[in-house]
Amino acid sequence: MISKLFKKENRVIKIKSPVSGRLISIEDVGDKTFASKALGEGVAIIPSKGSVRAPFSGKVLMVANTKHAIGLESEDGIQVIIHIGIDTVKREGEGFNVELKEGVEHVDEGDLLVTFDNETMVKEGVDTTVLLIVTETNGHTLSKILSQGMVEEGESDVSEFIRKKV
């Protein structure tokens, strides 16, 4: 009984899908930098619609001038980049709308971050695969990452991290 009182349990942190669509393996993404995991481990999702939501509660670290990428940090210190599309930086913001209010620093899980014209981009031949790349774990250990199946924005868990209690 006393040992249970002082036993420290690991904490599981779940990251939700930022978009709805079909998961593919990050190694199959049409960009060598992402596919090689040079920027970090992550998930790739072929979006079924053009909205991106916060995968967790935390703070906004960066919004690209071209509106195609956002950097976030969870309340547990996990940092991610959400990158919309391959080579979409060349669009210079065309077809993207950042839904964050000016100067916002905190977002709640599920908050709308960006909308983009997925349908038009796909018709134009643009690869709109959305990547969620973990760039900093801050002591957390990756315990699960999905690479296939259908996901719903803000609902489906796409990865889990464990923070060991000491």
Least Cα distance to 81 among 103, 120, 121, 114 occurs for: 114
Least Cα distance to 57 among 42, 72, 41, 40 occurs for: 72
How far apart are the C-alpha atoms of 86 and 129, rounded to whole Å? 7
How far apart are the C-alpha atoms of 137 and 142, rounded to whole Å? 8
**What number of other Cβ atoms are within 10 A of residue 71's Cβ?**
18
Angle at 121 (CA atoms; ends 117, 123), nearest 5 degrees: 125
Let me know if 83 is a catalytic residue: yes
Alpha-helix residue ranges (DSSP H) falling in 31-117: 32-35
| Residues designated as active site | 83
